[in-house]
Amino acid sequence: MPPSPDKNQPIYVAGHRGMVGSAIVRCLQRHGYRNIVTADRASLDLLDPHAVRRFFTERQLAYVFLAAAKVGGIHANNSYPAQFIYENLMIEANVIEAARSAGVERLLFLGSSCIYPRDCAQPIVEEYLLTGPLEKTNQPYAIAKIAGINLCESYNRQYGTRYVCAMPTNLYGPRDNYDLETSHVLPALVRKAHEAKLRSDPHVAVWGSGSPRREFLYVDDLADACVFLMESGVAEGMFNIGVGEDVTIRELAEMIMRIVGYRGELVFDASKPDGTPRKLLSVERMQKLGWKHTTSLETGIRRAYESFLSEAAKA
| Whole-Å CA distances, 307 to 18, 110, 194, 301, 310 | 14, 23, 13, 10, 5
Backbone angles phi, psi at 296, to 5 degrees: -70, 160
Ligand-binding site membership of 170 (annotated): yes
Ligand-binding site membership of 169 (annotated): yes
Residue 134 is classified by DSSP as P
For the question of residue 141 being annotated catalytic, the response is yes
Ligand-binding site membership of 103 (annotated): no
> What residues does 247 pair with on adjacent strands?
214
Of 4, 17, 19, which Cα lies nearest the Cα of 220? 19
Ligand-binding site membership of 314 (annotated): no
Ligand-binding site membership of 19 (annotated): yes
How would you classify the pairing of strands 265-269 and 11-14?
unpaired
Ligand-binding site membership of 26 (annotated): no
Ligand-binding site membership of 168 (annotated): yes
Ligand-binding site membership of 16 (annotated): yes
Ligand-binding site membership of 171 (annotated): yes
> What residues does 166 pair with on adjacent strands?
110, 239
**Cβ–Cβ under 8 Å, residues 187 and 176:** yes
Ligand-binding site membership of 111 (annotated): yes
> What residues does 49 pair with on adjacent strands?
none
Report residue 229 CA to chain centroid gap. 16
Ligand-binding site membership of 53 (annotated): no
Q: At a CB cut-off of 8 Å and minimum separation 6, what does 280 contact?
A: 122, 123, 124, 169, 213, 215, 242, 244, 245, 246
Residue 5 is classified by DSSP as P
Q: Determine which one of 63, 141, 155, 172 is catalytic.
A: 141
Ligand-binding site membership of 18 (annotated): yes
Prior bond to 273 cis, omega within 30? Answer: no
> What residues does 65 pair with on adjacent strands?
13, 108
Instruction: Pick out the residues of the known binding site for NADP(+).
Output: 15-21, 110-113, 145, 168-171, 184
Instruction: Pick out the residues of the known binding site.
Output: 15-21, 110-113, 145, 168-171, 184, 192, 207, 214, 274
Report, as residue numbers or ranges, the catalytic residues.
Answer: 141
